[in-house]
Amino acid sequence: MKAQPMPNNKSNQLSLEELTSFAKRRGFVFQASEIYGGLAGFWDLGPYGVELVHNITASWWRHFVNKQPNVVGLDTTIVQHPKLWVASGHVDTFVDPMVDCRNCQHRFRADHVADLDTTDLTKLKAALADKACPNCGEKALTEPRQFNMMFKTHVGPVEDSGSTTYLRPETAGGIFAQYDSVRETTRSKLPFGIAQIGKAFRNEITPGDFIFRLRELTQMELEMFVKPEAAEAAYADWKQYCMEWLHTLGLKSEHLRFHDHADDERAHYAAASVDIQFLYPAGFKELYGIANRTDYDLKAHSKNSGRDLSYFDEDTKARYTPYVIEPSVGAERLLMAILLDAYDEETVNDDTRVVMRFTPDMAPIKVAILPLSKKPELSSLAREIFSTIAGEWRVEYDETQSIGRRYRRQDEIGTPLCVTIDFDSLEDKAVTVRDRDSMQQTRIAIADLPDYIRDKLGTKA
């Protein structure tokens, strides 16, 4: 049997401030450029955060590409032709309403200050008429105006309007641009999908809530191309599949819910869209988005590029433009959710034990090798054991501090198994394996250790 996470004693017990502090202290997430005061909306992954995100993206790729008979991968460039973003609508519509304070010069999302779920400037203007600045308290707010969130850059040696392009705000644009090439080279027939994991950039007006709202993020997106008449059923299937995948990551059912978009919430091109929301410290917020984008994207790119992206159906001898079902999720929001649901505290011998109850698949470190002392004979044996199992699993070697302190440290980074090498190991060729969740210790022959770990954790690195 593989080890399973135990339920938390409390529900989402960490506040945003506590989570941010814990993530830094235990090496999951650091503020970018912190030695220079940091940069709002940018965060670096620490040694354990990068392992956790690797596990997240690897799981997504397994479930959304490798396990699918009709999905292939792609890796497109961050900088694309500027006309692509005109065709997709991002140049004209990828905007948020913005308001400034004339007194303190702070800038805010107008809909957040007005506490309205709308981007309509007329409605926001009326709602903001009597609002004070959230920062200084003065009634000195400007009228709301639209702000395009794409980062501009220039290609080539001359910085002029002709060289202007953008850092991609989503990974989907490159997928649509390469749709025809992928279809031809893979000889794909509908339905088929193209998946991509990569960086996206959004110049958020007010980034915040730790890594929830970022200016640089990692997206995992799937564009599923289907027959128009099959789109509704495909949308329902992927909606459920995404929810089931989130459960495999260790997220709790009671912390997840669907939020189907009303007519005034959906993008203008979407026939249907839904958020899977997670219970963050600030309440239920968007984690995963799934949309039926209709034939909007391929028709828009056909029109703007002059390339016919319609599909000839050999079975029906009909030509039409495929519909697109898009599940899209950010790795950092998932990282934040997994940290929240894995965090647990319990009392052990009148002491508080903090433990991250990651699933074995998500745990950044699978096994810790802990020689009881730094004596050369123990260190030598411990490093031999490390070499034997490292590679099949992510393994950490630690011989610093007392064994109790090392156990607690591994608990806090969520390591499922700790292997202790003691002086008896030199004689009986066995080690003590401690289980993170139960804290039970089992004596295992060194020769049997790899099979024992496989039985407990599986074989994924």
Give the pLDDT band (50/70/90) at residue 119: confident
pLDDT tens for 305-317 read 999 999 999 999 9
Examine the domain organization and report whether 433 and 449 are in the same domain.
yes
Task: Examine residue 7 and state whether it is found in any structural domain, yes or no.
Answer: no
Task: Examine residue 407 and state whether it is found in any structural domain, yes or no.
Answer: yes
Maximum average pLDDT range among 88-92, 208-212, 394-398: 394-398
Residue 118 predicted with pLDDT over 90: no
Q: Which two tokens stand for residue 39?
A: 């940069």
Question: Residue 254 contacts by C-beta under 8 Å, 6 or more apart in sequence?
Answer: 11, 279
Task: Examine residue 356 and state whether it is found in any structural domain, yes or no.
Answer: no
pLDDT tens for 264-286 read 888 888 999 999 999 999 999 99
Torsion of CA 113, 116, 121, 122, to 10 degrees: -110
Examine the domain organization and report whether 140 and 259 are in the same domain.
no
Mark which of 103, 125, 146 sits at the end of a domain. Answer: 146
- Of 179, 175, 186, the C-alpha closest to 222 is 175
Examine the domain organization and report whether 319 and 421 are in the same domain.
no
What pLDDT, on a 0 to 100 scale, did the predictor assign at position 4? 40
Tokens 């953008």 locate to 166
Residue 120 predicted with pLDDT over 90: no
pLDDT tens for 175-188 read 999 999 999 999 99
pLDDT tens for 357-403 read 999 999 999 999 999 999 999 999 999 999 999 989 999 999 999 99
What pLDDT, on a 0 to 100 scale, did the predictor assign at position 5? 41
What phi, psi does 153 have (nearest 5°)?
Answer: -150, 180
* Number of folded domains that form the chain: 3
CA distance 452 to 459: 11
CA distance 217 to 41: 9
Range of the domain at 195: 16-91+151-340
Examine the domain organization and report whether 255 and 401 are in the same domain.
no
Examine the domain organization and report whether 101 and 77 are in the same domain.
no
Residue 219 predicted with pLDDT over 60: yes
Residue 161 predicted with pLDDT over 80: no
Contact in structure between 276 and 263 (CB atoms under 8 Å)? no
The structure's pTM equals 0.89
Q: Which two tokens stand for residue 173?
A: 């644009």
Per cent of the chain over pLDDT 90 is 76
CA distance 99 to 405: 50
Mark which of 340, 375, 410 sits at the end of a domain. Answer: 340
Examine the domain organization and report whether 307 and 265 are in the same domain.
yes
Question: Residue 236 contacts by C-beta under 8 Å, 6 or more apart in sequence?
Answer: none
Examine the domain organization and report whether 101 and 242 are in the same domain.
no
CA distance 339 to 12: 10
Examine the domain organization and report whether 299 and 173 are in the same domain.
yes
Residue ranges of the alpha helices (H) in 390-434? 403-413, 425-428
Q: Which two tokens stand for residue 40?
A: 């709002």
